[in-house]
Amino acid sequence: MKCPVCGREMEQGFLQGNQRIAWVKKRHKVFLLPGEGEVLLENNAFGSFLVPAWICKECQKVILDYAGQSG
């Protein structure tokens, strides 16, 4: 995957954590419940998550692949 900012080849890896992660339009106050047009990336509040991601350490950008998620 090419970095959309600098065009260099990005490094493949994962975004990992142990609570929900979502791409949202605006900050959610209490529960991370995606609204219209928003995408829940992982819904495993009691375990860890692992989402395929590419990183450009030059631009400090991360691209996620949410294929396979219900979102």
Residues found near Zn ion in the complex (CB under 5 A):
3, 5-6, 56, 58-59
Q: Among residues 31, 34, 28, 30, which one has the least CA distance to residue 66? A: 34
| Closer Cβ to Zn ion, 11 or 58, answer by number | 58
Structure tokens at 40: 């829940």
Beta bridge mates, 63: 54
As a whole number of angstroms, the distance between CA 15 and CA 45 comes to 15
**Cβ of residue 67: shortest distance to Zn ion, in angstroms?**
22
**Cβ of residue 1: shortest distance to Zn ion, in angstroms?**
11
| Closer Cβ to Zn ion, 28 or 61, answer by number | 61
